[in-house]
Structure 1
Amino acid sequence: MSEQQTDTDASGGTTPSDGDAAPVPAKKSKKLILLGGIGAVLLLGTGGGAWMLLGGSGKAPAPQEAAADAPKDDKGGGEAGKEGEHFVDVPAMVVNLRSADGAARFLKVHLMLVPGTKMTPEQITAKLPLLLDAYQPFLRELRPDDLAGSAAVYRVKEEMLVRAHQTLGDGAVKDVLIQDLIQQ
């Protein structure tokens, strides 16, 4: 017969005093509580993230949403009291790049133009073929090295703005926004 000493715990029950027979139910309950807590945190985090992502944060609408809901002025162009809020989408252009090794390299550029004070978006859209004709030779003369580095996008943007001013006149285009600049 094996002798096993027991101690009385605070609740009046007995527990074995040697380490051989540990209370199994206590370990399982700790694991269940821990897993339940982790599950609750994940559920709350996922629910909160979905709520914020779907726009239930109660914040003011983003500028794009506010622009869509704003009343239009009588001229049919922009928002009442704001100038240059409409953009002219320039179709994506794909051109061959000059490469020293003769390998085929391509550049895809997608631009948007911000109209200036002297032209409306409709007038710029009507003259878009002239502008594309001015952009094509510049883009075709680019080399892959010209597009390397962080300043390359800025240089391309500035050159596009200069060509827009030469083609359409000063004040016709306020800014050129580069949407995509992909080299392949």
Structure 2
Amino acid sequence: MTVTEERTETTTPPDRPRRRRALAAALVIALAAGGVLALAERQRETAPSANRALVDTAATTKVVGDVSNALIKIFSYTPGDLAASEKAAAEVLSGKAAQQYRTLFAEVRRQAPAQKLTLTTRVVRAGVHRLDGGTAHLLVFLDQVSTRNGKPAGGTSAAQLAVTAHLTGGQWRIVDIRSS
């Protein structure tokens, strides 16, 4: 007796591979479109127009003025009136910058009266390299002249500071100062 095997082949309709290719293509297009949209959003956020320092002259002028005036007040002192610098610091500094200043000024308070040291600070140039929302990042160049007993004590010293400030109640307060 001969056994006859019957073969059954599963056949895929001819349109099934086309559907898979079309679905795969649609998925690739959707992923690519999502990536393009995400990239466009990121570029918009980092575009030069997102940096108000480049487009808002009034805000840039205000932050440069407030920060420059603050630095002059806190880094200028006479041995007879150290309290004025400390009072100014309490008004214009906060956060990390306030703590840094207290640490630095404790040494000044200890030495300035005995040395009869006067320090006069002048902002030579200040520029805002980033301004977004209520935060500004500046680069500030200072000249400082020290006198002892009214006589020059070492000429003019230059300093370069990286400053971060936050807008609080319409006034820019310095929150971080780093020597550059």
Shorter-chain TM-score bucket reads 0.3 to 0.5
TM-score normalized by the length of structure 1: 0.33
| Structure with the largest fraction of helix | 2
| Structure with the largest fraction of strand | 2
TM-score normalized by the length of structure 2: 0.33
